[in-house]
Structure 1
Amino acid sequence: MKGVLLVNLGSPDSPTPKDVKPYLDEFLMDERVIDVNKVWRNILVRGIILQTRPKKSAEAYSKIWWEEGSPLIVISERFAEKLKKQTKMPVALGMRYGSMTIKKAMDELRQQGVDEVLLVPLYPHYAMSSFETVVVKVMEVQKEFFPNVKLTTLPAFYKNPDYIKVLSASIADSLKDFEYDHILFSYHGIPERHVKKSDPTKYHCKIDGSCCFTNSVAHNTCYRHQVYDTTELVKAELNLPEEKVSSSFQSRLAGDPWLKPYTDYEFERFPKEGKKRLAVITPAFVADCLETLEEIAMEGKNQFLEAGGTDYKHIPCLNDDDAWVSLMAQWANNWEETGNLPH
């Protein structure tokens, strides 16, 4: 029997330092998130970061926490419930980090008789700190606890034509009553070395402004190429003016070079160039979370307005949008019937 396993990032159980600390520990100790040797990672995370970060992060979570719980969890649950109504297969939701574990979700499927699972990492793009770590973790759990369950992974869908249409329609709907000078596609940032580590050729990715636009097998696992591809495809779908669209990268740790341009720098730059009405979309995520709701919708807005901007609009993620749910159901049902996956 076939079933669907949805996996997203995860969340602490509450917006308190007590619950945020173990969540951050699990997240930051992941070797695909902070990819240094384990001894140094332990010193960096447990000796330095976790001494101060839980309190700051808890304050940030408190700003965006809903009455029902973590927005990311609530939205993902709503998405899963809607998906269940559009497929005959069992559907379970797990998180890469936190108490809603992948093991619990797989056990839920197994108890319903599922022995063949479609793994859906809820990330449009491939990155070792998001898509890859989900796939690796699920494979580890499957090998240890569910050795007789067959796994199939939905590939990164960042350029799937149907996905681009759904994403574009959502953006267009949000922009209906907003006159903008510029639209910023702000993607989650990653260290430059992650891009190079993910390059199977070991020579193509130079992050020099041209390699992302030179055809290569490296693009299958190149986050930078894939996010720029998403921007270009949406721009074409909506016929957006070239000069009114750009991409940037948010959320970084100090010390290493991360993908540029940095979103917070763009918030400072745009008003100086006369771009005072800004719309921001965060297509690295399919569900709104701490990064989109606090960092972009709140802090980003304040920064942009303080820099001289006049109007700011945060465009929500797809969340549990009906068209997005229907597209996922179409992909899942097609896999159940034919074994084929979208590309």
Structure 2
Amino acid sequence: MKKGILLVNLGSPDSPEPKDVKKYLGEFLMDERVIDIPYAARALLVRGIILKTRPKASAAAYKKIWWEEGSPLIVISKRLQNKIQEKVAYPVALAMRYGSMTIEKGLQELVDQGVEKVLLFPLYPQFAMATTETIMVLAEKLREEHFPNLKIESVPAFYNKPDYIEVLSHAIKKHLKGKNYEYLLFSYHGIPERHIRKSDVTKSHCKIDGSCCVTPSEAHEFCYRHQCLEVTRLVAAQLKLKEGSYSTSFQSRLGFDPWLLPYTDRTIERLGKQGIKNMAIVTPAFVSDCLETLEEIAIEGQEIFHEMGGNDYTTVPCLNDDTEFVELLSKWIANWGISKTELV
């Protein structure tokens, strides 16, 4: 049975122009696992309100970070794909959950090469409804409708795998070497609190009360908040960070429902007010730099910090196509089917 790999990232508009941004946002925000409210209410919110106002502002933000080669996330993801392909024997395709580089096209590319079994590799260290789950659900739907003879296996969240933590920690340490900083903020993409409760397989453990994420439970396998906090804990231990010199926050909230706390922008503001003059920030929910890291964190975050009296503000790049990260993913892929424990 010939095997192939499908790497899947979030996606991007085809251009930073409002019409393309509107199309992309429409697909993204109408996903029932992103905005998980009834269809009629979601359509009214997205098409009746958000898409009438947000595309222009989002397009302006994309224009700030757009590269000559195209969308940073797409360019970086392709670099990662190419470097992995050089190291593994399996065909490696790339797809995006949203946008024109569809999962259907990625699966078709592999099938056209004779692939009969696909390793679906969501490029997210942590599990979340709006990332890993929506990719897996769509891939299975497409398999049933268009590729009934194809077998698909999915890579689970790898947030706490020792070799991943080592690679992430080394990348952070390497980038911050010689840099002047007194505080390291771990910023993760935010999600509504209700997503945490919906993903709780026990239906009782996740209370988001400050203790559930550190109390052992099978719920942690699908708990985004626990997995983010665990990445921070493991990396802090690896880097021997002093207590009080780092913390976790969540960015990119949308709407008025309760989202995971504390918020990144308010945390940056608070740190500045508290007298922190030099800080660094890392975004471990993303493996590829994108709008949320290059504009929201690197540009807007820096502006907030400087307004609050801060001096040096250092952003740590995502793993992107870092050599050690490429080696790690290639190792996991090469071990697929040989020793599954090594993969997961």
- Report the TM-score, using the length of structure 2 for normalisation: 0.98
Structure-2 residue corresponding to 1:333: 334
Q: Indicate yes or no: 2:312 matched with 1:311.
A: yes
Aligned length: 343
In 2, Cα distance between the equivalents of 1:314 and 1:271?
16
In 2, Cα distance between the equivalents of 1:166 and 1:139?
31
SS in structure 2 opposite 1:3?
strand
Amino acid at match of 2:69: E
In 1, Cα distance between the equivalents of 2:136 and 2:64?
31
In 2, Cα distance between the equivalents of 1:134 and 1:170?
27
| 1:289-308 → structure 2 map (5 Å cutoff) | 289-308=290-309
In 1, Cα distance between the equivalents of 2:248 and 2:341?
32
Shift of 1:341: 4.8
Structure-2 residue corresponding to 1:18: 19
In 1, Cα distance between the equivalents of 2:338 and 2:83?
20
Structure-2 residue corresponding to 1:185: 186
Structure-2 residue corresponding to 1:228: 229
Q: Is the 8 A contact 2:333 2:343 kept in 1?
A: no
Structure-1 residue corresponding to 2:130: 129
| Residues 130-158 of structure 1: CA deviation (Å, up to 9, x unaligned) | 11111111111111111111111111000
In 2, Cα distance between the equivalents of 1:120 and 1:318?
16
Q: Indicate yes or no: 2:51 matched with 1:50.
A: yes
Shift of 1:339: 4.7
Unaligned runs of 5+ in 2: none
Q: Is the 8 A contact 1:2 1:336 kept in 2?
A: no
Structure-2 residue corresponding to 1:239: 240
In 2, Cα distance between the equivalents of 1:271 and 1:11?
32
In 1, Cα distance between the equivalents of 2:97 and 2:341?
25
In 2, Cα distance between the equivalents of 1:267 and 1:243?
15
In structure 2, relative to structure 1, the CA distance for the partners of 1:15 and 1:105 (3 Å cut) is same
Amino acid at match of 2:319: L
Shift of 1:253: 1.1
| 1:233-272 → structure 2 map (5 Å cutoff) | 233-272=234-273
In 1, Cα distance between the equivalents of 2:86 and 2:145?
31
Shift of 1:180: 1.1
Q: Indicate yes or no: 2:276 matched with 1:275.
A: yes
Shift of 1:243: 1.1
Unaligned runs of 5+ in 1: none
Amino acid at match of 1:299: E
Amino acid at match of 1:124: P
Shift of 1:170: 0.2
Deviates more, 1:57-66 or 1:270-279: 270-279
Structure-2 residue corresponding to 1:76: 77
Q: Is the 8 A contact 2:197 2:207 kept in 1?
A: yes
Shift of 1:11: 0.3
In 2, Cα distance between the equivalents of 1:172 and 1:161?
16
In 2, Cα distance between the equivalents of 1:327 and 1:209?
33
Amino acid at match of 1:274: G
Deviates more, 1:236-245 or 1:28-37: 236-245
| Residues 159-200 of structure 1: CA deviation (Å, up to 9, x unaligned) | 000000000000000110212110000000000000000001
Amino acid at match of 2:279: L
Amino acid at match of 2:29: L
| 1:138-217 → structure 2 map (5 Å cutoff) | 138-217=139-218
Amino acid at match of 1:149: L
Q: Is the 8 A contact 1:61 1:290 kept in 2?
A: yes
In 2, Cα distance between the equivalents of 1:73 and 1:246?
30
| 1:81-100 → structure 2 map (5 Å cutoff) | 81-100=82-101
Structure-2 residue corresponding to 1:28: 29
Q: Indicate yes or no: 2:12 matched with 1:6.
A: no
In 2, Cα distance between the equivalents of 1:294 and 1:338?
40
Shift of 1:81: 0.2
Q: What is the percentage of aligned positions where both structures have the same residue?
A: 61
| Residues 182-235 of structure 1: CA deviation (Å, up to 9, x unaligned) | 000000000000000000111100000000000000000000000000000001
Amino acid at match of 1:252: R
In 2, Cα distance between the equivalents of 1:342 and 1:87?
14
In 2, Cα distance between the equivalents of 1:271 and 1:85?
45
SS in structure 2 opposite 1:242?
coil
In 2, Cα distance between the equivalents of 1:86 and 1:95?
22
Shift of 1:242: 1.4
SS in structure 2 opposite 1:240?
coil
Shift of 1:342: 2.9
In 2, Cα distance between the equivalents of 1:314 and 1:65?
18
Deviating beyond 3 angstroms after TM superposition, the runs of 4 or more aligned structure 1 residues are 336-341
| Residues 25-46 of structure 1: CA deviation (Å, up to 9, x unaligned) | 0000000000000000000000
SS in structure 2 opposite 1:94?
strand
In 1, Cα distance between the equivalents of 2:225 and 2:303?
27
SS in structure 2 opposite 1:179?
coil
SS in structure 2 opposite 1:302?
helix
In 2, Cα distance between the equivalents of 1:69 and 1:14?
7
